[in-house]
Structure 1
Amino acid sequence: MATGSWKEVLSPALTSTSDPPPIFDGTTRLYISYSCPYAQRVWITRNCKVPSMEHDNEVKGESLDLVKYIDSNFDGPSLFPDVDIMYAPFIERFQPALLDVRKYDITDGRPNLAAWIEEMNKIEAYNQTRRDSKEMLKPARNAFWLISEVCCCHEV
């Protein structure tokens, strides 16, 4: 896998009022939501290889299809067999959420999982796509607060 110590400058998010970028102008673009774990898998793969989501006048859209497409159309070692890319975005979200909300550490008694997380955190292509766990937890905390407020019984 390609590694390096560069920091990607993220484009501002497009909104419903944004001018759309030109399509099929020869520019390679990756259209993603920075907070989506499915998009993050493609972003990790893209960081390990040549980016290409718009290629040969085609736009690919499903994350696993994009990973397969990148592997089959660009030079470099195959990344699809590395299921790490497929699981990392979800573990990245579940581990802090379960620890914060349920006080449950998924790595307790699972040394292989703890080692896997540690090794994944050493891969620069993955680190470029990671989000701050505190930022990821804000919506979950708000949702749990709302649910607890709605579901609580108060004596009058």
Structure 2
Amino acid sequence: MAAAAGLGSRRPTTLPPALGSTSQPPPVFDGTTRLYICYFCPFAQRAWVTRNFKGLQDKIKLVAIDLQDKPAWYKEKVYPQGTVPSLEHDNEVRGESLDLIRYIDCNFDGPALLPEDAAKRQFADELIAYADEFTKALYSPLISHADVSDEVVAAMDKLEAALSKFNDGPFFLGRFSLVDIAYVTILERVQIYYSHLRNYDIAKGRPNLEKFIDQMNKIEAYTLTKNDPLFSLDLAKKHLKIA
């Protein structure tokens, strides 16, 4: 998977600049639908990918927040929790990435990202509910400077098995869905982190996962949101206090 891990960012250069502490707030609740994100946050990226895939670039405006120099007005005027992503829509602001991707899918036009099939819908609910536990399992050893744990291996093996449940496509439900969005932004980062910081290839011996990552890297709605791998690695090293 070195090739996938080494893909450069295709992110357009016309994205709005991130707003910091000296920036003026947008005219909140003026009828504009805004998605508040950070360009480097995997959770915000989930909502960003969902917006892109549904073709909502003209209906949902991106507002980037500089989390290292967060403007006070974001918490005071927009989203009291102060985290990203958040979505300003119909005079309300909603947050939490896994809730937001469902909300965007249900309340806006564009291709549906959850299936009508009952078995696939149930499996989707189960996998989306597991996403936070998966993220914790993969990040915990990195944060604690521990080796690759049994929990990491088990979590990766669980994804490999989940990717084999349906055989009508390379994604978790066969066809591309919210489940893929819930996991790919985390996988994008841990693939880089574990490869460089633990010499561990998360896709080795997991052909379903390897194919999944390869196919995700062909979906423009996702690739346009990707970070440069080395930039992501540098951010991680700073956060983890690794020289």
Under TM normalisation by the shorter chain, which class is it? 0.7 to 0.9
Q: What is the distance in 2 between the residues matched to 1:37 and 1:126?
A: 12
Aligned length in residues: 141
2:203 is aligned with 1:144 = no
2:131 is aligned with 1:35 = no
- Normalising by structure 2, we get a TM-score of 0.54
Deviations 1:45-99 (A, max 9, x none): 0001225432211122221221111111122332255210000010000001111
Find runs of 4+ consecutive structure 1 residues off by over 3 angstroms. 5-8
More strand by share: 2
Which residue type is aligned with residue 224 of structure 2? Q
SS in 1 for 2:183: helix
Which is higher, the Rg of structure 1 or of structure 2? 1
Compute the displacement of 1:102 (Å).
Answer: 1.1
Unaligned stretches of 5+ residues in structure 1:
146-156
Tell me if structure 2 keeps the 8 A contact 1:39–1:63.
yes
Which residue type is aligned with residue 98 of structure 2? L
- Where do 1:1-156 residues align within 5 Å? 7=12, 9-49=14-54, 50=56, 51-52=59-60, 53-80=87-114, 81=124, 82=177, 83-142=179-238, 143-145=241-243
Q: What is the distance in 1 between the residues matched to 2:203 and 2:38?
A: 28
% identity of equivalent residues: 56
- Normalising by structure 1, we get a TM-score of 0.82
Query: In angstroms, what is the RMSD of aligned CA positions?
Result: 1.9
Tell me if structure 2 keeps the 8 A contact 1:37–1:90.
yes
Compute the displacement of 1:9 (Å).
Answer: 2.1
